[in-house]
Amino acid sequence: MGKSRLIREACNHRNVITFRAAKETARLNFQAFRRTCLQHMPDCGLEMQDDWQGLLAAVAAVAQPGLVLVLDNFSMLTDADETLPFIIRDFCRAGHGHAARLKLILCGDNIARMTALTRGASAKADHALADCDPQLFDLTPLPLHEAAGFFPSYTPEARIAAYAIFGGVPAYLAACDAEKPLAANIVDLLMTPDGRLVDEPLRALAHDLRDVKVYASILRAIANGHRESGEIRSFVMGAQTGMSISSYLEKLRAMRLIKGARALDADAKSRNMRFTISDPLTRFWNLFVQPNRGIIERDGGRELFETTIRRQLGDYMILGFETICRGYVRNQGDRLFGVRPQAVGQLWGQGYNIPIAARQYGRGALLGACAWQTQPVGGAGYAHLTQQARLSGFGPEDDGHPPDYALFSRSGFSSDLEAVARQSPHLKLVAPADMLHPAS
C-alpha cells in the first residue's frame, strides 16, 4: 500500500529505529530486532537483553526524547509470537519511567489483523492493544483524482483506464513509467516473465494466508463474472457437496480484497448479495495474466496483448468504469447536485439494472448510468435510464422530490442531450475530465 514509504517520509529528519519483520521464527525475528537496535544504540548494554520485555525497557531507558520505534510487518511478529501484543500492551501501561520518550509505530499489510488489535477488551491477542488508546491510521488506496497525478501527460480517458487497471495503491502506480503509454506499462509490468507486478496479486494473497488455493479460486470466479455466492461456489467447488465458502468470502472481505453489497433498496437481511473485487489490479490479473502465465513465461505476453487482450479492454472497462463512477458519486457527489449522498450503491431486479443509485438528503433519489464507448451518449441513453428508474420504483420516502439523473460517458454527449441538461436542474452530464478534479 506504500505504508513503509509514508512512514519513512513522516519520520524524515527524526531519530528513528525501523525494524521490518520476516516470516521467520519468533527467536530469529527477536534477534534481528536486537541487532537493529544495537546498530542505532551501541555500547548501551542492549546485547544483554534476551526477551522483548527487557529489550523494549532498555531501549526506552537510553533513548533520547522523541525516538520513533517502527515495527513493520507486525502481523508476522504476532504470527510467530502470540504474546507480543500483550508484551507491548504491558510496556505501554507501565511506562518504565521512560516510555514517554518513545513513539511506537506498529504497521502491517493484514488489514483485518491490524484493525482487530484496537478493538474492545478481550483476552485474545487480537484485542490486546485496545485499552492502550492507540491512534489507528487506515491507509486506503488513493482516489482517482490523486492517482491520476502519477500520469500527468495522459489524457483524462487514459488516466481513468490506468486507474481501472492499476488501482490506487501507490506502489503499483509508482511502478508505471509515466512517459510510456498505458499499453506499454501493462505489457512491461504484467505481460513479461520478469514484470514488476506479474505475480503481485498472488504474492499479496500468500503474504497473509497459509493456504491460498480456495481464496485464489474465489477471486478468479468473481473476476469472471460470478458475483453471487451460489455461482461462486459452483465455479470453485463444482458438484462437490458439504463445503461452504462463507468463511472464505468473509476473510476476503475482511482483507478488503472483495466487497459484498445488496441492492440499495433491499432489506438488510436480504440474501441477494453480489460480490465484486475491490482491487483493480487483482481483477485484471485474474482475467488476463493468471490464465496466460504459460504464454507469458515463454515471452509471448507482448503478442498476446496486441492480438487478444487489447481488443478485450473495452469490455473490461465497462465494469471498471461503473465502479469508478460510483466512487466518484460516493466521494464527490456534492459536485453534482450540491448535496453529499447518504448512501451509494446499485439497483437490480426484474427488467432493470442501474449501476449507480444513491439517496440524497433533502433531494430525490440519484440514479446514474455509465457508458465506456467510442460514441457520445445521446438522448436514447437518457431515456433508457429514466425507463429503468421507473421500473425500479426506487425513490425517497418524500414523493415531493423528483429523482436526479447523472450520465457518465467516456466520449462525451450529443449536442441535443447537452441542451437538455442545460435546461434541467435534475440532469448532470459527467465526462472523464470532470472526474479528475480534487474533492471539495
Dump pLDDT digits (tens) for 206-234: 877 877 999 999 999 999 999 999 999 99
The residue from 321, 352, 372 where one domain ends is 321
**185 plus 308 within the same structural domain:** yes
CATH number of the domain bearing residue 365: 3.40.1350.10
Place of cell 481483477: 283
**236 plus 330 within the same structural domain:** no
- Domain range for 106: 3-132
Measured CA to CA in angstroms, residue 173 lies from 108, 163, 312 at distances of 20, 9, 22
| pLDDT of the residue at 399 | 58
242: confidence class by pLDDT, cuts 50, 70, 90: low
**125 plus 171 within the same structural domain:** no
Domain-located, residue 139: no
The residue from 321, 343, 374 where one domain ends is 321
**Of 388, 385, 440, 425, whose CA–CA distance to 409 is shortest?**
385
What is the rounded distance in angstroms from the CA atom of residue 337 to the CA atom of residue 335? 6
**289 plus 386 within the same structural domain:** no
**Of 53, 135, 115, whose CA–CA distance to 87 is shortest?**
53
Amino acid present at 412:
G
The residue from 107, 132, 157 where one domain ends is 132
**Of 255, 211, 252, whose CA–CA distance to 112 is shortest?**
255
**153 plus 245 within the same structural domain:** yes
Q: How many domains does the chain have?
A: 3
Pure H helices in 191-275: 200-208, 213-223, 229-237, 246-254
CATH number of the domain bearing residue 204: 1.10.10
Amino acid present at 331:
N
Dump pLDDT digits (tens) for 252-275: 998 889 999 999 988 877 777 999
**287 plus 375 within the same structural domain:** no
**162 plus 266 within the same structural domain:** yes
Predicted confidence (pLDDT) at residue 38 exceeds the cutoff of 90: yes
| pLDDT of the residue at 1 | 53
Dump pLDDT digits (tens) for 334-387: 999 999 898 999 999 999 999 999 999 888 899 999 999 999 999 999 999 999
**421 plus 328 within the same structural domain:** yes
Domain-located, residue 140: no
Domain-located, residue 272: yes
Sheet with 16-20, edge to edge strand ranges? 16-20, 67-72, 102-106
- CA 380, 383, 388, 394 dihedral sign is positive
- Asked if residue 387 lies in contact with residue 348, where contact means CB atoms within 8 angstroms, the answer is no
Grid cell in block for residue 23: 516470516
DSSP calls for 37-50: HHHHSTTSSGGG--
